[in-house]
């Protein structure tokens, strides 16, 4: 297992505080350029780009549940890579960019097909330098699932990857989010998830969903069973959680990947974390004792969010070949 230099501030104890307080440390919003992409199934997504520089690496960031390019971690990560003059893009899962998508389907934790389509599209149009992918929480699970399914094939698209606070086993994580103080996080997620689901049902005049069950859902188990699972073709919540979990597929990963999880993450109980000696050599596990869920705050009060972006940069730089540092001035980047 990779040793971690992350230490939480002494003034910020415990996984819950280390999860919640970083939400108040919102970095400046990067100067994004939004691009709209039509999907193969006649829907659309939005992708927010930070820069358009030739000859430098590109970092693709897949956000977490109900996240976006405005999430605290996205601002911190994209702001950092902009500062070091790399390129970056945050593709939004369907319905997460502030605009409802066209279709009844939304997004889910195992949406590896969508991850693959996004990365393939980017790779076809971005030939200026190596591409790295980062997945946060839900996005991390979906990215790991894609990498495990594709194996060697994913190396044609990505130089490296990182999954941060990925739940890995959705049943354990989902049930944990229904217990104790974790219900505060669940209520926050459900406020927007239920509104979006009910709007979709109304717009599409869908009659196959139990509106009362969705409206009354108090846990992710109840919501996923009433909406997420059936709308995406799963046979109930347990079938969804089982088939969408990335942990059984980690052995198939062939892209050099950082697996970063705090052991006090309220969303990801430590029993989810795989023993390092069971992982393939392409996975670098890093499980610091603290950090919360996508927190990793550092510094004296009130703290800053620099540690995670710097850790990602260090991991990716070790996967660069010398030729990738040469700047080409003859090609343009086509974001469309």
Active site residue ranges = 137, 265, 293
Length of the chain: 336
Instruction: Report the C-alpha gap between 24 and 301 in whole angstroms.
Output: 12
Which contacts of 110-113 are long-range, i.e. CB under 8 A and separated by 24 or more positions? 110/141, 110/142, 110/145, 110/170, 110/240, 110/243, 110/244, 110/245, 110/246, 111/142, 111/244, 112/142, 112/143, 112/145, 112/146, 112/149
Instruction: Report the C-alpha gap between 118 and 61 in whole angstroms.
Output: 11
Query: DSSP assignment of 206-227, as one string?
Result: --SS-HHHHHH--SHHHHIIII
Instruction: Report the C-alpha gap between 94 and 101 in whole angstroms.
Output: 6
């Amino acid at each position: 297992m990779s040793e971690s230099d992350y230490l939480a501030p002494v003034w910020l104890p415990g996984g819950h505080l280390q999860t919640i307080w970083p939400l108040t440390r919102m970095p400046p919003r990067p100067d994004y350029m939004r691009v709209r992409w039509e999907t193969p199934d006649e829907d659309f997504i939005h992708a927010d780009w930070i820069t358009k520089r030739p000859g430098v690496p590109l970092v693709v960031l897949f956000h977490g549940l109900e996240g976006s390019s405005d999430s605290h971690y996205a601002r911190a990560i994209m702001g950092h890579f902009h500062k070091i003059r790399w390129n970056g893009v945050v593709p939004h899962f369907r319905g997460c960019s502030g605009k409802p998508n066209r279709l009844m389907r939304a997004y889910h934790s195992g949406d590896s097909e969508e991850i693959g389509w996004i990365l393939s599209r980017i790779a076809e149009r971005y030939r200026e330098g190596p591409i790295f992918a980062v997945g946060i929480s839900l996005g991390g699970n979906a990215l790991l699932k894609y990498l495990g399914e594709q194996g060697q094939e994913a190396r044609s698209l990505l130089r490296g990857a990182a999954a941060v606070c990925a739940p890995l086993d959705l049943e354990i994580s989902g049930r944990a989010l229904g217990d104790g103080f974790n219900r505060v996080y669940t209520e926050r997620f459900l406020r927007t998830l239920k509104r979006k689901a009910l709007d979709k049902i109304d717009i599409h005049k869908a009659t196959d969903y139990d509106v009362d069950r969705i409206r009354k859902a108090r846990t992710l188990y109840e919501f996923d069973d009433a909406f997420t699972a059936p709308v995406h073709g799963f046979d109930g919540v347990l079938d969804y959680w089982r088939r969408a979990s990335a942990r059984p597929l980690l052995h198939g990963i062939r892209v050099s990947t950082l697996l970063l999880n705090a052991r006090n993450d309220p969303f990801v109980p430590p029993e989810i974390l795989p023993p390092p000696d069971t992982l393939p050599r392409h996975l670098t596990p890093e499980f610091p004792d603290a950090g919360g869920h996508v927190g990793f705050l550092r510094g004296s009060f009130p703290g800053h969010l620099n540690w995670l972006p710097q850790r990602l940069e260090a991991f990716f730089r070790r996967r660069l070949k010398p030729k990738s540092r040469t700047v080409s001035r003859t090609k343009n980047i086509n974001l469309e």
